[in-house]
Every structure is written in C-alpha cells, then in structure tokens.
Structure 1
Amino acid sequence: MRWFFLPLVPACLALAACSSVEVGDYAGNAPAMVPQEFFSGTLVAEGVVKNRGGRVIRRFTADIDARWRDGVGTLEEDFVFDNGERDRRVWTLRPHPDGGFIGTAGDVVGEGRASVAGNAMFLDYVLRLPWRDGTIDVGVDDRMYLVSEDVLINESTLSKFGFRVGEILLTIRRLGDT
C-alpha cells in the first residue's frame, strides 16, 4: 500500500514550493507607504463586504479622522452600512522596533501586527464580531496598497479555523490634513 502515497509526493512538494505573498515583496514599489503621512487628516472609505462565496452582502462608507501624537496614531472610523446600521472603530497604532506597528481597537482581540514595505502595508489581527446572540472571533488578513499619494486600496480576507469565511474590499481616499 505504500505505492498509493507515491503520487502524492510531487503534489506535496509543489505545494511546499509555493510561497504566500509577503509585504517585503513590495519593497521596491512606489509611492512609498508611510502610515504617518497617509493616515493623517480626513479620509473617506467606500467598500463592500462579501460572503465566503464571493457575493456582495453589504456596502458601506466610513469617515476617518486620523492623527498622530508623539509617534502614536489614532484612526477614528465611523461606518454607515447600506441598511442604515452604524458602527465605530478607533484604532491606535504604536510603532514597533522592526519598523512596523502594533494596532489595537475595542473590537480587536489582543494586538494586531502591521508590516510596511514599499507601497504596501499588511495588518493581521483577530476581530470580534456580533454573531447571533453572542460574538465570533475571525482572523483578518488586511492588505493595503497605496496607488497614489491620496488613494489606498484595501483587501481583507476573513477566516475562521483556517477557512476563508468572507472578504472586504475598499478604497480609502485622503481628503486633507488636519
């Protein structure tokens, strides 16, 4: 029966050779993503939430007030969803010695880790969401790409137990400095 596993060896080696995209892959890309510069002042986000099958299930806009003081960033995000529901998230971004950031927010479990290279910023965290009569924690793989001085594209994959359960796609536009 050992021969049964032989065809699996090349497939496993091929999968092992595939590597996931890392923020460092964007190190040479411009414009340079400097969170203290992009996330400063008044911003607006517009996006969609997709279910695990890829169907858009919600649309939203968010007004963002972003500022930095003593190296620490605060992003106040006020969301309005297509059904009229409102939500608020306040991020605190603290610099990390490796050049990235530690991100915290009221509905984030523990701390998120942000890495920056070139025109990209990747942020990984666990988000606590309302679910039925309680809450559910989902992993978020947030990937942001600066496409111009004032426009950022953000794609987020939501997962539970290693399975993709949803996706968020949005743009963030800078409207001005404070």
Structure 2
Amino acid sequence: MARVGCSHDMNTRQPNILLTGTPGVGKTTLGKELAQRTGLTYVNIGELAQEGELYDGYDEEYQCPILDEDRVVDELDEKMTHGGVIVDYHGCDLFPERWFHIVFVLRTDNTQLYTRLESRLDESHHPLFCIPNPDGVQLVDQLPHPFACKIKFGPVLACTNVEENRVLNWMSNSGT
C-alpha cells in the first residue's frame, strides 16, 4: 500500500507503530512479542491509564472508567517524539496522526473473539473494557482521514508468528 501524502517526523530514529482492533484480537500478545524481538517500547493504553489514573469520570452504564484522552496524549507525547514505541489500543482517533509511521488493524474470527472475551468476563466477573460497539466495525469507519494511508489490515486469523513477521517485514522494507 502506498504511503503517498503521509507525514511523520522524519527525525524519529525508530518507527512508532499503532496496533489497533477490537479487544481480544491479540494486540497485547503481538505488541509484547514485537517489543521483545525489536527492542521497541511497548505501551498498552489501558495499563498506562490505570497506572497514571488518567480518567475523566466513570461510565455507570458500562461500569468502567472514562479515559481522559487529553491526559493520555500529554503523557505519551515525549515518548512518541523520540520514536521506537508500539502503542496498543482499540481505536486511533485520540492520537495525533504525526505520531505513527504505520497502523496495523488486527482482526480475528468472531467465534474465537467471543470465546476470548467470554473468558475475560468469567475470570474477572466484570467487564475489563468499555466499548459501545464490540463487533469492531467502528474501527474502520472511524479511522481519521490522515491515518488512511498508514493502515495495514491483518488477516482474519489468530495472532500468530505470521502477524509478527508482517510487522517485522514492514520495518525492514520501510528503511526504519
């Protein structure tokens, strides 16, 4: 996929990568493995928000904290400027487009996804995440226009070495 018209800070020594997709598709598994194999820094937005208490209230309907997006961006800005960061989050609309060299949208079979999410609920007895449309369709529809040239869609598979290799191949071929 061509990257014509895309902009990012060319002074960044290492790429910033966004792994996005519906909760349960394998973003965390892939992100941690990539960080281990490449030396890039892995950031899970849910964990970052929890550790820094980056919340703006509580959603009674979904029984989960509401992410304070401005504080998350402020918290990450310096790291992202230096480069070498893999960000794991189920959306991308809160992030500045200039941060990322590429966005990988991960997907998986709905049956497998349902099983994964169901096991998360069984383990904790309460929702671990709060999304109004859990089928993941909103990810494609809500991607901001500037991100459009940076998107690579993953195959509808479980997170495997194939996914890791696709990201590593992109890194090798992009000259980053």
Shorter-chain TM range is: under 0.3
| Bigger-Rg structure (1/2) | 1
Q: Higher RCO, 1 or 2 (CA under 8 Å, sep at least 6)?
A: 2
Instruction: Write 1 or 2 for the structure with the bigger share of strand.
Output: 1
Q: TM-score of the superposition, structure 2-length normalised?
A: 0.27
